[in-house]
A and B are shown apart, each in its own frame.
Chain A
Amino acid sequence: MQYVLEIMIPMLEGTAVTLQMFFITIVLSLPLGLLLALARLSRCRPVQSVVGVYIWLLRGTPLMLQLLFVYFALPFVPYIGVKLPDFPAAVLAFVLNYAAYFAEIFRAGIQSIDRGQYEGAKVLGMTYIQTMRRIVLPQVIKRVLPPVSNETITLVKDTSLIYVLAMNDLMRTARALVQRDFSTTPFIVAAVFYLVMTLVLTWGFQKLERRYAAYDE
Chain B
Amino acid sequence: MYGSDFEDPETVGQPGASALLDEVESAERDLHEAAARTVATGGSTGPGADAALQDYFDAVIAADQKIEPRDWMPGAYRKGLIRQIAQHAHSEIIGMQPEGNWITRAPSLKRKAILLAKVQDEAGHGLYLYAAAETLGSSRDELVELLITGRQKYSSIFNYPTLNWADVGAIGWLVDGAAIVNQVPLCRCSYGPYARAMIRICKEESFHQRQGFEILYTLARGTAAQRQMAQDAVDRWWYPSLAMFGPPDSDSTHSEQSMAWKIKRFSNDDLRQRFVDMCAQQASVLGLSIPDPDLRWNEERGAWDYRQPDYAELFRVIKGDGPCNRQRLRHRRQAHEDGAWVRDAGSAYAAKQAARRAGKRATEQVAAA
| A and B together in one complex | no
Interface residues of B (CB under 8 A from A): none
